[in-house]
Structure 1
């Protein structure tokens, strides 16, 4: 069994990064952790202090997906690869539990565990495939009734996060992926510099394997909505949204409509 993981860095909090690395190394199943640094300085090189860690310095910000792809290209023989955000932390046993679950279900290409804020509160990261009204409404008109109603459905507000479920849109903060699926797809679409690269990848995985939420183990995630506070990052977010809908379809996306309808039927039990 070979499991690899990658963490993309960009001027992050050193203590959070150390905790993310420690969490990965706590599992003997993870053979290699790739630290891919998009920072202008290689201040995190010192973390590569044992043979299970490989540090890759880009000396510039090449983007989230492109940086992860550098690691993905180095681990073609892995059984599983884990995409890990630098503000993630988890306890011993999480990787073993997820590995056993994936081993038992070869039709699953991606699994995401329950994700909690640092204070233990649930993060609602299971979603439907987004429409333009979902993304732009929740960002620019969050208090409008129509936006709230659309957002409740998009975020599956009724879902209790207490059951294993096929979900078409899962967060990229922690993605436990069957590596042959990841290699078949070529990793992330590098046209997305930042934001929605995970939505795009999960959707592509869904074409050839199941994408599943698994509630029986949890991880913690710092999760800061940076595009709500930084105008430059907001512009990146908007650019990625435009690229995403240009790729998959704006108002007319039959596949999205069918997938979302099927997901709602399965989760609600309604025909």
Structure 2
């Protein structure tokens, strides 16, 4: 018997307590039976003060395990503890009934293994976080040669879809991953070889092989979205390392599944 409707994990690393506090308060607005895991990769345990009550468990790792490996601490628990698990970035906030609405959608759609709501900047503009499965060229051009790539990037981020309809997408952002816990038994957890970046593409793609992975625009959340790898050399190296692992696993040039999935998405959502 599952103890919780929902478990939630937020991974911390020298995080701004005021920003994280907004994420925590958002979770605490929920009327679902939930448990929140604060998993701290910081060098000190100063953020343990963010624990509010017994519904929150604070886990101090005393070292930086990376994004996926830290979240896996709670995902392993979610498989037996909860019906659903939310991987939540510390820089996201949202209003009442968001988690209830997503829970209801998943309960009514058993073929869905993962759902992501519409992600907005604090000013209300849309973040284009539904993507085609990446090729090495996509990631290289986006990171190092962004000029002149507007049309290719529009296609990659599915901008012309309008972000106003339900879409079955194989690459959803890791900032807000509402996952059916049962699916984790089938596909496994985050790939711990990837320290951070693109582990969301890897996990969503594995879930997509067995379930629908849905963008659900009828629910909205807000995301500060710092794009750290574009500002920090060390984070850029993590990004490159993660991409190397991802493409070595799935294929650099020859990836028939990627081609088939991307063509299906383009035909369904970009071609009128």
TM-score by length of 1: 0.96
Taking a change above 3 Å as real, the CA distance of residues 30 and 220 of structure 1, as seen in their structure-2 partners, is farther
Q: Confirm or deny that 1:31 pairs with 2:34.
A: yes
Q: Give the superposition deviation at 1:223.
A: 0.3
Could you report, residue by residue, the CA deviation over 1:31-64 in whole angstroms, capped at 9, with x for unpaired residues?
2000000001011111223110000000100110
Q: Gapped runs of 5+ residues in structure 2?
A: none
1:103 aligned partner: 107
Q: Distance in 1 between matches of 2:159 and 2:99?
A: 28
Query: Contact 1:114 / 1:214 at 8 angstroms: preserved in 2?
Result: yes
- C-alpha change, 1:215 and 1:28, in structure 2 (3 Å) is same
More displaced, 72-81 or 99-108? 72-81
The correspondence for 1:40, drawn from 35, 40, 43, is 43
RMSD, aligned CA: 1.2
Is 2:9 the partner of 1:6? yes
Contact 1:138 1:148 in 2 (8 A): no
Quote the offset at 1:30 in angstroms.
4.3
1:124 and 1:269 map into 2 onto residues whose CA distance is: 18
Distance 1:30 1:142 in 2: 44
Is 1:70 aligned with 2:79?
no
1 CA distance for matches of 2:207 and 2:77?
A: 20
By how many angstroms is 1:218 displaced?
0.2
Tell me if the contact between 2:37 and 2:56 (Cα under 8 Å) persists in the aligned partners.
yes
Check whether the contact 1:6–1:68 (CA below 8 A) recurs between aligned residues.
yes
- Measure, in 2, the Cα distance between the counterparts of 1:149 and 1:238: 23
Secondary structure class of the residue paired with 2:174: coil
Residue aligned with 1:101, SS: helix
Runs of 4+ residues over 6 Å off in structure 1: none
- Equivalence for 2:20: 17
Alignment partner of 2:154 out of 121, 136, 152: 152
Q: d(CA) in 1 for partners of 2:270 and 2:125?
A: 24
Matches within 5 A, 1:216-227: 216-227=218-229
TM-score (norm 2): 0.96
Residue 251 (structure 1) aligns with = 253
1:93 equivalenced with 2:97 (yes/no): yes
Gaps of 5+ in 1: none
Which residue of structure 2 lines up, in the alignment, with residue 210 of structure 1?
212
Residue number in structure 1 paired with 2:164 = 162
Once the two structures are superposed, what CA deviation does each residue of 1:128-152 show, in whole Å capped at 9, x if it has no partner? 00001110001111113xx333222
What is aligned with 1:119?
123
- In the aligned structure 2, how far is the partner of 1:34 from the partner of 1:253? 36
Contact 1:5/1:30, CA 8 A, preserved across alignment: no
Could you say what secondary structure the match of 2:203 adopts?
A: helix
